[in-house]
Structure 1
Amino acid sequence: MDLPGLEPEVPDLTAYDWIIANISGGKDSLAMMYELARQARAANVMDRVVCVHADLGDAEWPGTRELAEEHAAFFGWRFEVVARNGSGLIDRIEERGMFPDASNRWCTSDFKRGPVRTLMTRLVRELLAANHRDQVRILNVMGLRADESPARRRLLAFVHDGARTCPCPDCRRRRTISDEAKRNKRPVPKKDKIRHGASNTLRHVDTWLPVHAWSTADVWSAVWASGARSHPAYAAGMPRLSCVFCVLASRPALVRAAQLQPDLAARYARVEKKTGHRFRNDLTMAEIIAEAAATPLRATPVACWQG
């Protein structure tokens, strides 16, 4: 495979004070947990793992939060739920007057990445209250896979989540280059730009994608081997357990979702009509609903998520 960051080495799990498993209730999330548990048991750090579920409210499939909690309990891990303060995702779309898209995925930053960082802050405070003296080291673990999209294919399987205030040598180097370029009114080379990650003076955060190189078949093998329950949306033919109506999903996946969740589809259509903003440039929710009504609900699974 021509993929970046696929060195076989697993990060030294003993080097981290906290290991945060981002769990969605979906198959990739569960496969990630299965692999993480295998590695954490070998390193004797199962007690350092904390699961976090970013609750998307009405935009999620019914039972998702409960299933995520069930998965955490299955592995014996602490479970935390985070959510954006204020309105839920669908109401936020209406407030903004626009849907997210591939180039402006504010849904991810506002409803997942940002809330998860609030958990990091709480976990750091827990250790500081217990007289932890050093910078808290956090490994942020996710179930993203290269096969899911071209953007995810370009991700590294292991990377430091650096930022301007992070005191590590690489972040200091980037800061120096950036400041010098700014003084001399020169652009900063892309490879040297300062990141806007989760690290800061109190916490050092690295990100690990343990199933990044796995195929869908690999994922399902791990799910079945785990013995944990998968969400019924898969049995209904959905290829992924993202938001019910994700703007990045394929047309067949969106049509199947509309057949399974017609009331939610109608709600999206009302938001679309009220805001005057299309669900997607090439596809309206009204078109999705119309195709869902005209298409027999089949037992065969939708073949792909994108495309």
Structure 2
Amino acid sequence: MTAQLELLSARDALGPDPIPDLAAADRIIVSSSGGKDSQVALDETVRLADAAGVRDRIVVLHCDLGVTPRGHTIEWPGTLDLARAQAEHYGLSFEVRRSAKWESLLHRIRARGRFPNLFNRYCTAEMKRNVSRKFITEQVAQLGITGRPARVVLCLGLRAAESRNRAAKPPIERDPASSGRRTITLWYPVLRWSTEEVWERIHATGVPYHWAYREGMSRLSCSLCPLASASDLTCAARLRPELAAEYAETERETGSPFRRDLTMAEIIERAGAAV
């Protein structure tokens, strides 16, 4: 009996998640990081939008995290091109936006004097959430709807299995940034999917996925994310030693550790031992 229960996904146990009324949406924005979860969220959004006859209302948005002072991309090399290729596979418009204030996440970290952590995720707030909300403002202006708020659905590839905070989220919720000019519905189309289900869909579609997974990464965010697992960080430092060295230099200059329980110097040492 236990073995059978382990084979059940959250969707099997809880039933199908609700779906927003895509036919009523004026714009459907899919936030794409180029990672496996947003890749499958994009595929699922296209599938359901096709059923509603509104694929033409979808636009894919990639929030780029910039280039460090030494010229290294914060994101994994090839991420931007891959996210664009994934959007083009479905014939969708692809847009890239970056912070207007900070050249990169590392510039922001150096200015703040400390790295992000679970309770201070200014990386997500400033480099992604604020950027995507500004993009929504642009889209609403282009729509030119009068007499009612523009209806926007923002699709994010969050999964409950990734954290307790995500597990507590409903599949659909209203964005606090909604206003009299726009209503923003946050939709997590793969919230209850298991990792196995994600990979099954990716292989079924045949759409290219990021090379870092084949090199041992289990998740794909910024290359060196303080919230990543120690094993992923060790793998990332091995694959991107020059970026890791720049983070270690920032760590020394600011006097702030990369993570309270794990410094970048220690991560680099682990990566060297793993070679």
Any unmatched runs of 5+ in structure 1? 162-196, 297-307
Q: CA RMSD in A?
A: 1.6
Q: Which runs of 5+ in 2 are unaligned?
A: 1-8, 67-72
The TM-score normalised by the length of structure 2 is 0.91
Instruction: Pick the aligned partner of 1:223 from 187, 191, 202.
Output: 202
How far the C-alpha of 1:6 sits from its partner, in A, is 6.4
Displacement after TM superposition at 1:2 (Å):
7.3
Check conservation: 1:93, 1:99, Cα contact below 8 A: yes
User: 2:131 is matched with which residue?
Assistant: 115
Deviations 1:109-135 (A, max 9, x none): 00000000111011111111xx54421
Q: Which amino acid aligns with 1:221?
A: E
On the 8 A contact 1:159/1:207 being kept in 2, the answer is yes
Q: Aligned pair 1:148/2:157, yes or no?
A: no
1:54-107 Cα offsets, whole Å, 9 max, x none, are 001221000111111111111111111111113210111111111010001000
Cα displacement (A) at 1:34: 1.1
Show the 5 A alignment for 1:229-240.
229-240=208-219
The equivalent of 2:86 in structure 1 is: 71
Write the distance in 2 (CA, Å) between the matches of 1:290 and 1:6. Answer: 46
* Structure 2 CA distance for aligned equivalents of residues 6 and 119 of structure 1: 33
Corresponding residue number in structure 2 for 1:88: 104
The letter of the residue matching 1:134 is R
Cα distance in 1, alignment partners of residues 206 and 61 from structure 2: 21
Contact 1:5 1:158 in 2 (8 A): no
Worse overlay, 40-49 or 9-18 = 9-18
Residue 15 in structure 1 maps to residue 54 in structure 2: no
Q: Which residue of 2 aligns with 1:26?
A: 35
AA at the equivalent of 1:18? R
Q: Which has the larger radius of gyration?
A: 1
Please state how far the C-alpha of 1:226 moved relative to its aligned partner: 1.5
Across the two proteins, how many residue pairs are aligned to each other?
Answer: 259
Task: Report what 2:235 is aligned to.
Answer: 256
Summarize deviations over 1:224-276 as a string: whole Å, max 9, x none: 11211011101101001111110111111101100000000000000000000
